[in-house]
Structure 1
Amino acid sequence: MSPRLALAVASLVLALVPVSGAAAATGTSQATPFPATITAANGKVTVPRRPTRIVSLSPTSTESLFAIGAGRQVIAVDDRSDYPKTAPRTSLSGFTPNVEAIAAYRPDLVVVADNPKDLVAALTKLGIPVVFHKPAATFRGAYQQIRQLGTATGHGPRAAALVSKMRTQIARVVAKRRPAAVGASVYHELDPSFFSATSSTFVGRVYSLFGLENIADAAPGGSEYPQLSPEYIVSSNPDLVALADSVCCGQNADTVAARPGWSGIKAVRNRAILRIDDSIASRWGPRLVNFVRAVGTALGRLGT
């Protein structure tokens, strides 16, 4: 799988129900006390005091940190963290991290989404608390990560409020648009070479919210991110085409319609073409709501 496809990661199972237990209770009524301990992919992580020098090497976590009110505590992010625009710009790499360069920022908390070259262990050895948040596998997992960032940064109440708002907004869109999706199918395009994402992925689960049939699910090979053939896509005749390569690769309704044989596809005939920002379609943070809304809007064009 290419690095670009790796960015499109993460399968997310629908869980639009309250999280029970300690996770639900995190910081709902008062500021997070310190020291604060959470359990991330690297085990139990204790943050001794409210961090003021956070380095985020995860584009999704960067978005979440700013959304929960911890933006002023973030002093550096990786070179792929392009949202929000107010995030500090650096040349730090999340793919090929340099421990010395990260440590030079004197961080009191580092958040990562990957662990190349045993990055987590190297930073931990330097006495730096590290929160390792792998790409979320479920909606519940995505919400838990936001809550954990709230706990680790002293913004528990804001994080809990954000999760509650996301749940409500997503549920509202799905309730309104799901009827239009009954019996309809979708093709999600990761790049112009026709790599797609099945229903067992983060991307695919978004479409499953609406009950859409994903044409990638029946593709041979058993991959979560299969490369489909143009002939397979045309013969599947999807009702909705979602282009998650609109920014990187300039794909749009016109370029799709110009592909040999594609002009007869139902989605092309009905202009049911969704152009979704590549980063929105590959991250599992606050802008998940934007993704769901975009799909809902596109569903309003089915059959028109």
Structure 2
Amino acid sequence: MNSAFAKESQPQVKVAQNQGAQRIVALSPHSVEMLFAIGVGDRIVATTEHADFPEQAKSITRIGGYYGVQIERIVELNPDLVVVWQGGNKLDDINRLIDLGFTVYDSSPKNLAQVADDLIALGELTANQTQAQTAADTYLSELQSIKSAHQQKVPVKVFYQLWSSPLMTVAKGSWIQNIIEVCQGENVFYDAATEYPQLSIENVLLTQAQVIVQSQDEGNILGIDWQAWPQLPAVANAHIYQLDADLIHRASPRSIEGVKAMCEAIDKAR
């Protein structure tokens, strides 16, 4: 399962005061994508596992992952900016980097609009404001266009299958809920007690979901054969769709492509 959904308490992260960072450690795939989007990807000296877009990102040195990062290696690299991710980096690692005196910026967008905020902030921190502003404006314009195209559409009951074993979905406050809302989808587990609840197949059958959207991970797709429950409208009408998890789960400029894919799937069930 994508580890983007782990929750930790909010660290006290300081934001860089000096502009023009030249040596950047980016500790998440989405921040790598953001830095390339604003034209400073060539300044990244290290990153974590799964940072694979754009193609150039694959050649960046890896110094850890969700299980933790190599603090000693970061010290050796001596970056003037470390971009952390509160939801995907260990809190102890983040606090250690702060204690060592590194300039740290927490890129942890909670909704789609905040992707643009981070693009602009990273532009300030790298003295690349003009390209960052252009990237942010383009992103927001595309997002607004999609919202406008869907705001009058009839709501559709959506079940988002985050993972199959255990069976997990998304609820209010989650990143993916933001995407479903743009498409005028009605998340059947919106009011669950947690952002990423575990549930049973019986729970899903009771919702009468009209469309099932799954993250495109083989283990997730093969984990449950929904054809065994044709009483569910999504199954009866063949509205089960698989989406690229990187586009849906990463808070990057490519989220626009994820929104488009989600809306296309939901539109098919209208």
Task: Report the TM range for the smaller structure's normalisation.
Answer: 0.7 to 0.9
The number of residues matched between the two structures is 262
Superposition deviation, residue 168 in structure 1:
1.5
Conservation of the 8 A alpha-carbon contact between 1:243 and 1:274: yes
Aligned to 2:90: 116
Paired amino acid for 1:171? Q
Q: How far, CA to CA, are the matches of 2:220 and 2:214 in structure 1?
A: 10
After TM superposition, the structure 1 = structure 2 runs for residues 133-172 of structure 1, keeping only pairs within 5 Å, are 133=107, 135-172=108-145
The 10-residue stretch of structure 1 (82-91 or 103-112) with the greater mean CA deviation from structure 2: 82-91
In 1: Cα distance, 2:124 partner to 2:232 partner = 48
Letter in 2 for 1:90: T
Q: Which TM-score applies when normalising by structure 2?
A: 0.86
Structure scoring higher RCO (CA < 8 A, sep ≥ 6) equals: 1
Identity %: 24
Post-superposition Cα deviations, 1:278-304, rounded to whole Å, max 9, x if no partner, equal 22222211111011100121133114x
Give the corresponding residue for 1:104: 76
Alpha-carbon displacement from aligned partner over 1:191-219 (angstroms, at most 9, x marks no partner): 11320001321111211123321111244
Deviations 1:84-143 (A, max 9, x none): 22113433124311210122223222111035353344334444322122x322334332
Q: Deviations over 1:7-52 (max 9, x none)?
A: 1469xxxxxxxxxxxxxxxxxxxxxxxxxxxxx96134223x5222
> Retained in 2: the 8 A contact 1:199–1:208?
no
Q: Which secondary structure state, in structure 1, belongs to the residue aligned with residue 217 of structure 2?
A: helix
Q: Does residue 276 in structure 1 map to residue 256 in structure 2?
A: no
* Matching residue of 1:264: 231
State whether residues 171 and 196 of structure 2, in contact with CA within 8 Å, keep that contact through their aligned partners in structure 1.
Answer: yes
> How far apart in 2 are the matches of 1:272 and 1:178?
21
Q: How many angstroms apart in 1 are the aligned matches of 2:204 and 2:238?
A: 16
Specify the alignment match of 1:67 in structure 2: 37
Match of 1:236 in 2: 207
2:4 — aligned with what? 7
8 Å CA contact 1:42, 1:131 repeated in 2: yes
SS class of match (2:125): helix
Unmatched tracts of structure 2, length 5 or more: none
In structure 1, C-alpha distance between the alignment counterparts of 2:117 and 2:13, rounded to whole Å: 15
Q: Give the Cα separation in 1 of the matches to 2:261 and 2:6.
A: 19
RMSD: 2.5
Among 145, 148, 151, which residue is 1:175 paired with? 148
The answer for the alignment partner of 1:77 in structure 2 is 47
Structure 1 equivalent of residue 183 of structure 2: 210
User: Once the two structures are superposed, what CA deviation does each residue of 1:226-266 show, in whole Å capped at 9, x if it has no partner?
Assistant: 1121012122121121101x2252517x96443x31x3322
1:29 corresponding residue in structure 2: none
Distance 1:117 1:212 in 2: 34
Q: Are residues 117 and 266 of structure 1, via their aligned partners in 2, closer, same or farther at CA, if it must alter by over 3 Å? A: closer
Q: Is contact 1:41-1:132 (8 Å) kept?
A: no
Please, which runs of 5 or more residues in structure 1 have no aligned partner?
A: 11-39
Rate the CA distance shift 1:128–1:43 in 2: closer, same or farther, 3 A: closer
